[in-house]
Amino acid sequence: MRRLIKSVCSVVFAALLLPASAFGAEPIRIGAIYIMSGPFATYGQFARDGIELALEEINGQGGVLGRKLEYLIEDSAGKADVAIQAARKLVYQEKVDVLMGIDSSGVANGLTPVVPELQRPLLITHAATPDVTGKLCNKWVFRNSVNINQHMKAAALLAKDLGNKRWTTIGPDYAFGHQSWEFFQKYLKPMQSDVEFMEPMFPRFGSEDFTPFITRTISAKPDGVLISVWGGDLVNFVRQANNLGFFDQGFDVLFTLGGATEVLTALGDQMPEGIWVGTRYWFLAKDTPRNKKFVEAYHKRYGKYPSYNAQNAYSGVYTIKGAIEKAGTTDPAKIAAAMENLTVDAPTGTYTVRAEDHQALVDGYWGVTKADSSYPIRILDPVRVFPAKQITPPPAENGCKLAG
């Protein structure tokens, strides 16, 4: 008897979980998955800001195909299994039409093989692992942000100009850290034959204490250090490194993602000047009307400057809009097909999503940190923009074999 009650209760619970469906002019729904908690939570927040700004603009101009564009956001917590569950929930329970997001490369690698069963396009706006547009590529997954290949090619070009002999790295111990170093070596070696790569260091992703790695690097006396630690980890790293005199040693320091506004905001004056930092978008780099309008609107609405995660998510929404309009329908398979060869006018520049591997041809940015009294954070001056064509390897090199 009690067991029966239990079963009945389960069914009642299940019924409670049924979403209240809205009849009438159905909105188009985007399901977003970003890191909303922990040391990288600001990235998810900036992404959300970018999404909301884009939605406000788009809906203010009549929406997409005459329907309102909406979004839902889930926290991946930087974990692949959580992201997979979130994606299932978004698709089956919340019935979204399109998925976007993913900050962590580890999560992207876990989620990408699952997307085909969900039968929804996934637009990756942050995670940089080459694999999602490489050996794991499939017809449903796209990326509109700079990936590791592009970013490290730019880093290698920069390194070549710096002309250092001995390079080492400190990177987080997961896909992103390892692959950044792998590709940096791959691109730099042919450009500079006498370069020497020292023992790399990979502290735990989400580590709090980088002191042992900092002191070890100082003792090793490299000429240049490539640091792919990012987000909250980078904030911790810089604070500890400042205390240990890391930046006074005389070697070149490259922070691959040090130009992220999230990091610059958290560090404020503690970010040293004169460091080469990379980013996937720099709000002051492009003088185009499109960029100026975006930066102004963002600053007006949120009181801060857009980070690359914000811009990527913002242009991600526009990419989705473009694909739906090109397809003329919200049939997910058709949206995915329409995303191929789609051209989007974004603040970071006009880019096209390549059909062969679904990677967008976006520019890379590196700059030197500098204090500027008219801005509350360190800005980048000078800025080097690496055009997409210069840094994006041809699809044949990726290992992506998209079924016809």
Partner 1 sequence: MAAFIAALLNSLEFGLLLFLIASGLTIVFGVLGILNFAHGALYMLGAYFGYSVLHYVDLPFWAAVIVVPLAVAALAVVIERLTLRPIYGRHPTFGLLLTFALLLILDDAVRLIWGAGYHIVDPPSLLKGTVSILGAVYPRYGFFIIVAAVAIGVAIWLLFTRTRVGKTVRAAAIDRETAEALGINVTALFTLVFAFGAGLAALAGVLAAPIRAIGPSMGERIIIESFIVVVIGGLGSFPGALVGALILGAIHGFGGRWLPELNLILPFLGMAVVLLWRPQGLLGRSA
Partner 2 sequence: MATSGLARPLGLTRGAAALAGLAAAAIALLALPYVAPYFVIFVATEILIMGLFATSFNLLFGFTGLLSFGHAAYFGTGAYIAALLLRDLQPDFVWVLLAAGLGAGLLAFVIGALCVRLNEVYFAMLTLAFGMMVYVVFHQWRSMTGGTDGVAGFPITALGFGVHGQLGNPVHYYYLVLVVVAASLFALYRITVSPFGLILRAMRENTERVAFAGVPVYRYRLYAFVLAGAFAGLAGALFSPFNRIAVPEMVHWTQSAEPVLMAILGGASYFFGPLFGAAVFLTLERWITSYTTEWMIYLGIILLLLVIFLPRGILGLFDRHKEDAP
CA atoms 342, 46, 298, 87: torsion sign: positive
Partner whose binding site includes residue 212, from partner 2, partner 1, none (CB under 5 to 8 Å by kind): partner 1
Partner whose binding site includes residue 174, from partner 2, partner 1, none (CB under 5 to 8 Å by kind): partner 2
Minimal distance, residue 30 CB to partner 1, in Å? 22
Query: Rounded to whole angstroms, how far apart are CA atoms 35 and 93?
Result: 20
* Token pair in block for residue 331: 């049939």
- What's the Cα-to-Cα distance from 124 to each of 105, 141, 212, 302, 345, rounded to whole Å? 10, 7, 34, 24, 17
Partner whose binding site includes residue 79, from partner 2, partner 1, none (CB under 5 to 8 Å by kind): partner 2
Q: Which residue has the tokens 């709000």?
A: 283
Among 93, 211, 329, 341, binds partner 1 (CB under 8 A): 211
Q: Which residue has the tokens 């209240």?
A: 20
- In the complex with partner 2, the residue whose CB is nearer, 80 or 98, is 80
Q: Are strands 28-34 and 98-101 parallel, antiparallel or unpaired?
A: parallel
- In the complex with partner 2, the residue whose CB is nearer, 104 or 369, is 104
3-state secondary structure 114-183: HHHHHCCCEEECCCCCHHHHCCCCCCCEEECCCCHHHHHHHHHHHHHHHCCCEEEEECCCCHHHHHHHHH
**Who contacts 86 (Cβ-Cβ below 8 Å, separation ≥6)?**
33, 74, 75, 76
- In the complex with partner 1, the residue whose CB is nearer, 246 or 365, is 246
Query: Rounded to whole angstroms, how far apart are CA atoms 28 and 5?
Result: 39
Minimal distance, residue 314 CB to partner 1, in Å? 21
Partner whose binding site includes residue 3, from partner 1, partner 2, none (CB under 5 to 8 Å by kind): partner 2
Minimal distance, residue 165 CB to partner 2, in Å? 29
Helix axes 175-191, 148-162, angle to 10 degrees: 50
Query: Rounded to whole angstroms, how far apart are CA atoms 269 and 370?
Result: 10
Residues that bind partner 2 (CB under 8 A): 1-7, 10-11, 13-14, 16-18, 36-37, 75, 79-81, 84-85, 88-89, 92-93, 105-106, 109-110, 112-114, 117, 136, 173-175, 178, 204-205
Partner whose binding site includes residue 175, from partner 2, partner 1, none (CB under 5 to 8 Å by kind): partner 2
Helix (H) or strand (E) holding 2: helix 2-16
Residues 227-246 that bind partner 1 (CB under 8 A): 232, 235-236, 239, 243-245
Minimal distance, residue 58 CB to partner 1, in Å? 28
* Token pair in block for residue 2: 């009690």
Partner whose binding site includes residue 1, from partner 1, partner 2, none (CB under 5 to 8 Å by kind): partner 2
Partner whose binding site includes residue 299, from partner 1, partner 2, none (CB under 5 to 8 Å by kind): none
Residue 398's nearest CA partner among 66, 109, 136, 93 is: 136
Q: What are the helix (H) ranges across 17-114?
A: 41-60, 80-88, 105-111
Minimal distance, residue 240 CB to partner 1, in Å? 8
Q: Are strands 349-352 and 343-346 parallel, antiparallel or unpaired?
A: antiparallel
Residues 188-207 that bind partner 1 (CB under 8 A): 204
- In the complex with partner 2, the residue whose CB is nearer, 89 or 160, is 89
Q: Is 216 in the site for partner 1 (CB under 8 A)?
A: yes
* Token pair in block for residue 31: 């399901």
Minimal distance, residue 274 CB to partner 1, in Å? 19
Partner whose binding site includes residue 292, from partner 1, partner 2, none (CB under 5 to 8 Å by kind): none
- In the complex with partner 2, the residue whose CB is nearer, 112 or 279, is 112
Minimal distance, residue 221 CB to partner 1, in Å? 12
- In the complex with partner 1, the residue whose CB is nearer, 221 or 292, is 221
**Who contacts 300 (Cβ-Cβ below 8 Å, separation ≥6)?**
none
Query: Rounded to whole angstroms, how far apart are CA atoms 85 and 88?
Result: 5
Site string for partner 1, 43-62 (x = CB under 8 A): --x-----------------
- In the complex with partner 1, the residue whose CB is nearer, 249 or 343, is 249
* Contact residues for partner 1, defined by CB under 8 A: 36-39, 41-42, 45, 75, 204, 208-209, 211-213, 215-216, 219, 232, 235-236, 239, 243-245, 266
